[in-house]
Structure 1
Amino acid sequence: MNRLIGLISGLLFISTLHSEAQISTFGPAASGQVLWAKVDGDNISSQPIPAYSLGGFARVKLLKFYIQPEVFYARKGADLLVHDLSTNQDTKQELRYETVDVNLMLGLQLFNDDIGFRLHKGPGMNHNLDNSYKVNGDKIDESAFRFNPIPLTGRQVLE
């Protein structure tokens, strides 16, 4: 009996949310990133490369709040120059990796739809698709620099 009451209550709650919910936006999203931080030491220096992400999102409104799932393909990386003090040789290293990023943002619309000012935050998951690591142009096996395949991240954005 308790399960039946719980099931009926859950269905009523979902139907109430569904009647109040309005899918306001589906859309593509793209971004470019440049990391300005650099590593400069006695035997190593880094040069970031421009990164990009392409994907899409859906925004489901619940009054002034909304839920926004997102899926992105992203490419990131850096170039390193490592100086071996024992041989006095420089080694160029290229690090590139491609990920699929899945985020579930919870947000608040601060003003009306015309202004479009929103604040959202939420967890995300990144899955590595491809790792590419080259030393002086020669590809190195990715097991030499294994990344955590599914790290959980947090993200907050002010649009």
Structure 2
Amino acid sequence: MGELVDRVDEEDLVVGVVERAEAIERGWLHRVATTVCRDPRGRILVHRRPDGISRFPGQYNWLIGGAAGAGESYEEAAARELSEELGVFGVPVRQVFTFLCRGEISPYWLGVHEAVVRGVIVPDPTEIDWYGWFGEGELLEAVGRGEFVSDGVEALRRYLAA
């Protein structure tokens, strides 16, 4: 059995539990939790996805995250993804907003969080090929070059407006 997620409706209310692959295949709404990682100077972590990865290979992103598991809150999923993808544990995440994202692969509810990351980062090489810290201006300039995960570009617009 694959990864189980909560299937949700247009109001982000749980209507069942399904496999994530089925939710994507059928276009069913589910939840994805992401985190904007800032360093103590306020810079934002930007990373490149490996070329061999199934979703958005070789593209850049400014969000760390993934699907929220069945019964898992956005905040729990965001903290779990930080530990899995960056090797960062015990960092508090603060939810900034959620929105219904009409994603490139499938639609989903996206929870965007923030966390200040101090200390050593140990990225999972199957998820992150490269990373660096960008100021907001540098990030906007990089996004303008068009090499970023498309779903993250919409989230960035909303994040900077929040």
> TM tier, shorter chain?
under 0.3
- Larger relative CO (CA 8 A, sep 6+): 1 or 2? 2
Q: Which has the larger radius of gyration?
A: 1
**TM-score normalised per structure 2:** 0.22
More helix by share: 2
